[in-house]
């Protein structure tokens, strides 16, 4: 599955992630190039590009080549472009957006397929994003734990994160997160999914949105979930991307987690994110 004849692909780590060099994403890419990009995304979980000069219109057009756009309910949109969510931290703000391991929109019945994140303004140093491979995390579990997880479902929710008084309350007060009344999503997904495209078995719980196993209490669920979270973020399952202005990351939300570092106090970071529609998971 790694025959990318039309691309210059440079892996970032053995676990996941690859930088693709020598491609201009604002061009009208032909079907062969798009097929190779989709194949690379399936193989590496997240793909990166440097020095991309995209207008908002070009950003939207690129995203639509991968999947229909899933408009985020909670992020402040870019003015005039409701399909693009703004991920912003001003120099005087203490908390960033995305500073916990998570995968986007897992609280939806049909979770997001992917995300297309474009760096508009980045700090001199810091503000990197970490990614983790949930396929590799699953494969490195013991056979006994794999059997325990087989057939289990887990509940994911937006309520505790984006609702009134939730974990993003500070971001809501600052206007970076909005619409707490819309945080009504609850969805149960298999703890281990078969990835819709690659069919790789993949761990599908995350610290940001998973609440408990189906049929278990939150207290009963916590020890096993905590173990899975610690296991899934082992360094050998991860890669780290240093942003530059014009960098783009496209990741598969069914195959990866991500974590935005908050280590650039006193500097501004502005990213534009488009989320891609997915499908129910099995």
Q: Please say if 272 is a catalytic residue.
A: no
Cα–Cα distances (Å) from 37 to 34, 66, 74, 170, 209, in that order, read 5, 9, 29, 37, 29
Distance between alpha carbon 153 and the CA centroid of its chain, in Å? Answer: 20
Active-site residue (options: 105, 258, 269, 272): 258
- Pick the closest to residue 210 from 200, 224, 197, 198 (CA basis): 224
Active-site residue (options: 59, 102, 212, 272): 102
At 102 the three-state DSSP class reads strand
Residues 6+ apart with CB under 8 A from 45: 16, 17, 131, 133, 135, 251, 252, 255, 256
Burial of 130 by CB count in 10 Å (0-12 exposed, 13-18 middle, 19+ buried)? middle
- Pick the closest to residue 138 from 45, 54, 219 (CA basis): 45
Burial of 57 by CB count in 10 Å (0-12 exposed, 13-18 middle, 19+ buried)? exposed
Q: Please say if 79 is a catalytic residue.
A: no
Q: Please say if 282 is a catalytic residue.
A: no
Active-site residue (options: 70, 104, 108, 252): 104
Q: Please say if 104 is a catalytic residue.
A: yes
Which sign, positive or negative, has the C-alpha torsion 74, 80, 85, 87?
Answer: negative
Q: What are the two backbone dihedrals, phi and then psi, of residue 140, each rounded to the nearest 5 degrees?
A: -90, 5
CB atoms inside a 10 Å sphere around CB 148: 13
Catalytic residues: 102, 104, 258, 273
């Amino acid at each position: 599955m790694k025959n990318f004849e039309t691309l210059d692909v440079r892996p970032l780590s053995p676990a996941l992630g690859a930088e693709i060099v020598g491609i201009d994403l604002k061009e009208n890419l032909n079907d062969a190039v798009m097929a190779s990009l989709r194949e690379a995304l399936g193989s590496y979980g997240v793909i990166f590009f440097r020095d991309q000069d995209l207008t908002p219109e070009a950003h939207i057009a690129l995203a639509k080549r991968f999947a229909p756009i899933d408009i985020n309910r909670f992020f402040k949109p870019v003015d005039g472009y409701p399909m693009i969510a703004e991920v912003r931290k001003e120099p005087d703000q203490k908390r960033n957006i995305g500073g916990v391991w998570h995968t986007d929109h897992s609280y939806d019945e049909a979770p997001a397929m992917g995300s297309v994140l474009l760096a508009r303004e980045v700090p001199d140093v810091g503000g990197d994003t970490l990614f983790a491979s949930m396929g590799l995390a699953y494969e490195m579990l013991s056979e006994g734990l794999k059997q325990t997880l087989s057939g289990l479902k887990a509940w994911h929710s937006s309520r505790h994160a984006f609702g009134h008084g939730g974990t993003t309350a500070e971001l809501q007060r600052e206007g970076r997160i909005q619409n707490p009344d819309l945080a009504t999503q609850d969805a149960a997904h298999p703890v281990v999914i078969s990835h819709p495209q690659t069919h790789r078995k993949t761990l599908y719980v995350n610290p940001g949105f998973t609440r408990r196993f189906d049929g278990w209490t939150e207290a009963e669920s916590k020890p096993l979930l905590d173990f899975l979270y610690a296991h899934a973020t082992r360094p050998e399952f991860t890669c780290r991307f240093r942003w530059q202005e014009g960098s783009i990351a496209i990741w598969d939300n069914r195959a990866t987690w991500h974590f935005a570092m908050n280590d650039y106090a006193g500097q501004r970071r502005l990213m534009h994110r488009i989320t891609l529609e997915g499908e129910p998971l099995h």
